[in-house]
Chain A
Amino acid sequence: MAEVALVDVSKSFGAVDAVRNLSLSIANGEFVVLLGPTGAGKTTTLRLIAGLERPDRGNVLIQGRIVTEAVPAERDVAFVFQQYSLYPHLTVYDNLAFPLRSPARRMDEQLVRRRIHQVAELLHVEQKLGNRATALSGGEMQRVAIGRALVREPAVYLMDEPLSSLDAKLRAELRLELKRIQRELGTTILYVTHDQIEAMTMADRIGVMNEGVLIQLGTPREIYERPDNAYVASRLGAPAINLVPAELLAGGAMPPNARTVGLRTEHIRMICSADGPGPVAQVHWVEHLGDQNHVHLKIASHSLVTLADPAQQLKAGDRVSLAFDDPLYFDQAGNRVAANESGRQA
């Protein structure tokens, strides 16, 4: 049974449609990530589920129960905010105990202590339990904020870019941690981010949103390999997918209605001589990143970015010929069209 379901939900703020006709269903124990740029409606979606906003239309269901009109306290959700929303005058322990000490719960203090120590251990903040919330570093604060959600056992955890204000190293660490915790506890999480790496590494399913619309929902593999349209394709992959006009690379497996070709770095093979069978490009610029090189190519008036082995000696002005493996094709409207099975290029 779906733990959380949104049925045709819309919400606007004044003239801005924050969320449009959104339907989404999250299964028990599933980790769903909403991915999209700022203003895509991801946070509004979370807030609609939490009950911090009321939808203009549509219904919100949690554990099969319609909660559209219910206040947050009646919904059995936990929310991790983007800002460290700790109670600054309380200690870490009291912050973690806060949701458990709700009169609605009436939890035994002995039990509270046990839960807090469990969660503190999980998040490596045991040493900090006696500290005031304001005496913590950013990473510790966010771990406590996550901990305050984890001490409860709600139907769903809602997380709004919880790692975005942390530095890269800590983000990578907590990303792994969070996924591990989710696997161990089998919790249901709806997680919002604009970071494709977080989405790819943690999600069971990714929902790509833009301008209030859920464009595609699927496993990370599906979203990456079979994006519905050019927008979804451009959200994932680094360097970003190259979108070039179809006439530039005519032939091969290209379907007749293709107008744009999407070339990820793994779709492009460079042959270091100008007399290969494919189109010829000129190296415009090489970025050395240490473990890999980003090669900026010019083909006609279009630019392509691809990866190259750092051992490969390329320099600006070199001419290379290109071969393409299974690129993505998009029609006039930007929707993906399947390749011609018969005429695949070698």
Chain B
Amino acid sequence: MSTLAERAVARTPNRLALRLGNLSDKAIAWLFITPSVLLLLAINIFPLLWTIQLSFTNYRANRPNAVLRYVGLDNYRDILTDPEIWHAMQATAHFVLWSIAMELVLGFGLALLINRRFRGHSFWTTIILLPMMLSPAVVGNFWTFLLQPQIGLFNNAIAVLTGVDPSSFQMIGDVRLAPWSIIMVDAWMWTPYVMLICLAGLRSIPDYIYEAAEVDRASPWRQFWSITLPMVMPFLMLAILFRAIENFKMFDMVNLLTSGGPGSTTEVASITLKREAFEKWRTGYSSALAIILFVTVFGAANIYVKALNRVKQR
């Protein structure tokens, strides 16, 4: 005799089992991942493929009814022979190289200081980390005020320190200074990030290695070069990779701060791309430019990761 409860269970068909009952494990697995695969296809893969297709046409998004003509590799040829594009690439390279150089030197230096674990070091770590928690749009916006020649704090601070007239120079408006303004603001915002990665690297070096070196009569200088630097190197390279990818496609902060100006001095590749795509509406042309940028970053990152793995294996 079975109990009432047992009979009830036996009579109620298991709904999930009923529906999935005749599906294989593999089919169930597919069922679970399909939504995310579809989403990925819709907003990543499809646009990429469409962009590749558009890059071979003369398509303009503001004239959807115009005759679509396939132009072959013409867009690519035009881009690679366009001095303006090469200028934008140079501006990008200048920005990427110098911002990373500054962030590395300052970030590593700060990490070395913080790693000494002085009193209140965690408080200072938090303070130092604040800039990178802000939105790039906010940063771009308030630095335009800070760098304002008449009322901006930056010019006045320089004036107090050096005695020059605060309105005698313009960080954003000057052709020579503008590229350095965006580098400075980027370094201000992202040095903490590099510091954090370096700090993780420094903390991963066990104390006894330094103690062994001390007993082995290695000077602090030699300890730095033969222990600290080699052991932090993989972390440094990772920081360079992250910052390079990020700054290569940097748009928001530069757009708010200088919008590529004055003239086109700070017109980095992403700003050129936006102008071509959404101001001149040369959709086919800008698609080709986007593909070129994508291949550049993707290719460079791949080569770099291989180098990084070699350093890690050492």
- Quick check: which of A80-88, A170-178, A238-246, A267-275 contacts chain B, the rest being far away? A80-88
Q: Which of A17-67 contact B (CB under 8 A)?
A: 50-52
- Complex CA distance for A98 and B226, rounded to whole angstroms: 9
Binds A, one of B3-11, B36-44, B129-137, B214-222: B214-222
CB proximity of B266 to chain A, nearest CB, Å: 40
Q: Enumerate B190-219 residues with CB–CB distance to A below 8 Å.
A: 206, 208-209, 211-219
With A87-B227, A89-B314, A98-B226 known to touch, is A52 a contact of B219 (CB < 8 Å)? no
**How distant is A304 from chain B, measured CB to nearest CB, in Å?**
43
B114 interface residue per 8 A CB criterion? no
Docked Cα-Cα span, A238 to B212, in Å, equals 35
Interface core residue of A78, A85, A99 (most chain B CB under 10 Å): A85
A79 touches B219 (CB 8 A): no
Count chain B CB atoms within 10 A of each CB in A73, A132, A148 and give the residue with the most.
A73
A81/B212 in contact, CB under 8 A: yes
Task: Judge whether B216 and A99 touch: CB under 8 Å.
Answer: yes
Residues of B within 8 A of A51 (CB): 215
Measured in the bound complex, the distance between the Cα atoms of B225 and A90 in whole Å is 12
B184 close to A (CB within 8 Å): no
Instruction: Count chain B residues whose beta carbon lies closer than 8 angstroms to a beta carbon of A.
Output: 18
- A residues near B206, Cβ cutoff 8 Å: 83, 85
B307 to chain A, nearest CB (A): 15
Which residue of B has the minimal Cβ distance to A83? B208
Contact of B212 among A79, A102, A103, A132 (CB under 8 A): A79
Contact flag A78-B226 (CB < 8 Å), given A85-B209, A88-B231, A89-B231: no
Q: What's the minimum C-beta distance from A117 to chain B, rounded to whole angstroms?
A: 19
Q: Does B47 contact A (CB under 8 A)?
A: no
- For A271-305 the 0/1 string (1 means CB < 8 A from B) is 00000000000000000000000000000000000
Contact call B211/A102, Cβ cutoff below 8 A: no
Contact with A along B162-185 (1 / 0, CB 8 A): 000000000000000000000000
Chain A CB within 10 Å, residue with most, of B206, B208, B216: B216
Q: Is the CB of A73 within 8 A of B214?
A: yes
The answer on a CB contact under 8 Å between A81 and B208 is yes
CA distance A77 to B215 in the complex (A): 7
Q: Report the separation of the CA atoms of residues A103 and B197 in the bound assembly, to the nearest whole angstrom.
A: 32
B206 to chain A, nearest CB (A): 7
CB neighbours (8 Å) of B219 from chain A are 102-103
- The majority secondary structure among interface residues of chain B is helix
Q: Say if the beta carbon of B230 comes within 8 Å of chain A.
A: yes
When chains A and B are docked, how far (Å) is the Cα of A103 from the Cα of B227?
A: 16
Contact of B211 among A78, A85, A90 (CB under 8 A): A85
A334 at the interface (CB under 8 A from B): no
Q: CA of A87 to CA of B212 in the docked complex: distance in angstroms?
A: 9
Chain B nearest Cβ from A83, distance in angstroms? 6
Closest-by-CB residue of A relative to B230 is: A89
A71 within 8 Å of B (CB atoms): yes
Q: Is A52 in contact with B231, judged by CB distance below 8 angstroms?
A: no
* Identity of the chain A residue whose Cβ is nearest the Cβ of B205 in the assembled complex: A88
A99 touches which one: B208, B211, B217, B227 (CB < 8 A)? B217
Q: In the complex, which residue of chain A has the Cβ closest to the Cβ of B233?
A: A89
Q: Which residues of A contact B213 (CB under 8 A)?
A: 87, 98
Nearest residue (CB) in B for A78 is: B215
Pick the residue among B208, B211, B216, B231 that contacts A98 (CB under 8 A).
B216
Measured between beta carbons, the chain B residues less than 8 angstroms from A99 are: 216-217
Does A105 sit at the interface, judged by CB under 8 A?
A: yes
Cα distance A73–B218 when bound, in Å? 8
User: Chain B's nearest CB lies how many Å from the CB of A4?
Assistant: 14
A87-B227, A89-B231 in contact; A102/B314 too (CB < 8 A)? no
Are B215 and A50 within 8 A (Cβ)?
Answer: yes
Residues on B with C-beta less than 8 A from A73 are 214-215, 217-218
A102 touches B218 (CB 8 A): yes
Q: Decide: A72 and B218 in contact? CB cutoff 8 A.
A: no
Chain B residue nearest to A152 (CB atoms) is B216
Measured in the bound complex, the distance between the Cα atoms of B209 and A148 in whole Å is 13
Q: Which chain A residues (211-245) contact chain B, with CB distance < 8 Å?
A: none
Q: Given A81-B208, A83-B206: A102 and B215 within 8 A (CB)? A: no
Closest to B209 in A: A85
Given A98-B226, A103-B222, A132-B314, check contact A87 B217 (CB 8 Å): no
Nearest 10 pairs of A and B residues by beta carbon: A99-B216, A102-B217, A85-B212, A73-B217, A89-B230, A79-B215, A72-B214, A72-B215, A85-B208, A104-B217
Can you add 17 more A-B contacts, CB < 8 Å, to A52-B211, A87-B227, A90-B226? A72-B214, A72-B217, A73-B217, A79-B211, A79-B212, A81-B212, A85-B209, A85-B212, A87-B213, A87-B226, A98-B218, A99-B216, A102-B216, A102-B222, A103-B219, A105-B217, A132-B314
Residues of chain A whose beta carbon lies under 8 Å from any beta carbon of chain B: 50-52, 71-73, 77-79, 81, 83, 85, 87-90, 98-99, 102-105, 132, 148, 152
23 contacts between A and B (CB under 8 A): A50-B211, A50-B215, A72-B215, A73-B218, A77-B215, A78-B216, A79-B211, A79-B212, A81-B211, A83-B206, A83-B208, A85-B208, A85-B209, A85-B212, A89-B230, A89-B231, A89-B314, A90-B226, A99-B216, A102-B217, A103-B219, A104-B217, A105-B217
